[in-house]
Amino acid sequence: MDLIDRANALHDWLLAKELAAQTGQRPAGDSRADCLECGDVIPEARRAALPGVTLCVHCQTLMEKRR
């Protein structure tokens, strides 16, 4: 996966997250084993707590600060 593919995937994820937030829904489905942004492993506890998670804690924090 190249940089543009990762950027597009992140954009799609952010759009889905925004739509879900507007309707009061949480993302669902399978969580990623590795972070969509940096590629680090997402701990099992995080994946279990947040179904559909795609970012590690660090990248999620950075993304939320950019808002």
Q: Who contacts 6 (Cβ-Cβ below 8 Å, separation ≥6)?
A: 36, 37
Calculate mean pLDDT across residues 13-39: 79
Cα separation, 13 vs 59, in Å, equals: 13
Q: pLDDT grade, residue 9 (50/70/90)?
A: confident
At residue 43, the pLDDT reads 93
Bigger pLDDT: 26 vs 43: 43
pTM of the predicted structure, to 2 decimals = 0.58
